[in-house]
Amino acid sequence: MRDFALPRFSSRCLPVWRRNAQVWLKLSGPSLVGNFGEPLLYLLALGYGLGGFIGEVDGLPYIVFLATGIVCSSAMNTATFECLYSAYTRMKVQETWSAMLAAPLSLDDIVLGETLWAGTKSLISATAILLVAALLGLVEGWQALGVLPLAFLLGCCFGAMALVVTAISPSYDFFLYYFTLVITPMFLLSGVFFPLESVPGWVQAGVQLLPLYHVVELVRPLMTGRPLEGVVVHLLAPLLYGLAALWLALGFLRRRLLI
């Protein structure tokens, strides 16, 4: 069980974060198109197209309801892709992590740096979507800026969860199991496209155990000016998921890389 000893993090995770940020800046154009384009298409096509037939949902115009969910799903997907495909490439194909381990860096620092970078990319993605929503008149008040730290927290949570999968994955193809069994059900059922009350009670109970649902429940009132409820519970869910996933990812990576 030594592999799953408690992490020992330090400020040396920051060079890992900075290295990833510098690489991203060189490719920021295509990266922003990928992270920003698909959520924007969902928002415009479904919000205006389908919204014309639906009208209001939960007392909100459908495009407003959808915008609040798209901010969260975009943050989730951005962090997930970063800590699956990009992190796996750095670990397995480019062997960037091996080079880092030859420097005065520990695996704990690398994992935390990757997680923080995933949170940062989610923050960038959520900021872009929030800005577009504001320009379209879908945001109510300055309290919507509270969405940004939530996007960072959600990104760190899903980045750590994705690193668990990366740690045990034999190839890129393995990621399809995670998307099919975990990410897609959360994306469809966590209140992004319709209220949770629309599904059977047993589904509601299951969804309420998932981190995306809890962040949507905080982001929606922040963007629409409604009062916040159950803040502590909604914050604890992604925080606990993220911490548990970070510990698991580090344990599996120690077993895989530190032979």
Position 8 in a domain: no
Q: What is the mean pLDDT of the chain?
A: 91
pLDDT band of residue 22 (cuts 50, 70, 90) is very high
Contact 156, 116 (CB under 8 A): yes
**What would the two tokens of residue 38 be?**
């698909």
Contact 249, 114 (CB under 8 A): no
Q: What is the pLDDT of residue 35?
A: 64
Cα–Cα distance between 170 and 71 in angstroms, integer? 31
Q: What is the pLDDT of residue 237?
A: 96
Position 4 in a domain: no
Domains identified in the chain, total number: 1
Closest CA to 6 of 257, 255, 244: 244
Position 222 in a domain: yes
Q: What is the pLDDT of residue 1?
A: 60
Position 15 in a domain: no
What's the average model confidence in pLDDT over 231-237? 96
Percent of the chain residues past pLDDT 70, beyond the cut: 98
Q: What is the pLDDT of residue 128?
A: 87
Assess whether pLDDT exceeds 70 at residue 229.
yes
Q: Which residue has the higher pLDDT, 51 or 71?
A: 71
State the residue for tokens 């899903």: 158
pLDDT in tens, 33-56: 766 677 777 777 777 777 777 888
Position 185 in a domain: yes
The range of the structural domain enclosing residue 136 comes to: 28-257
- The identity of residue 101, as a single letter, is L
Position 7 in a domain: no
225: left (phi over 0), alpha (psi -120 to 50) or beta: left
Position 226 in a domain: yes
Query: How distant, in Å, are the alpha carbons of 68, 69, 188 from that of 42?
Result: 12, 11, 13
Contact 128, 37 (CB under 8 A): no
Position 16 in a domain: no
pLDDT band of residue 118 (cuts 50, 70, 90) is very high
Q: What is the pLDDT of residue 251?
A: 94
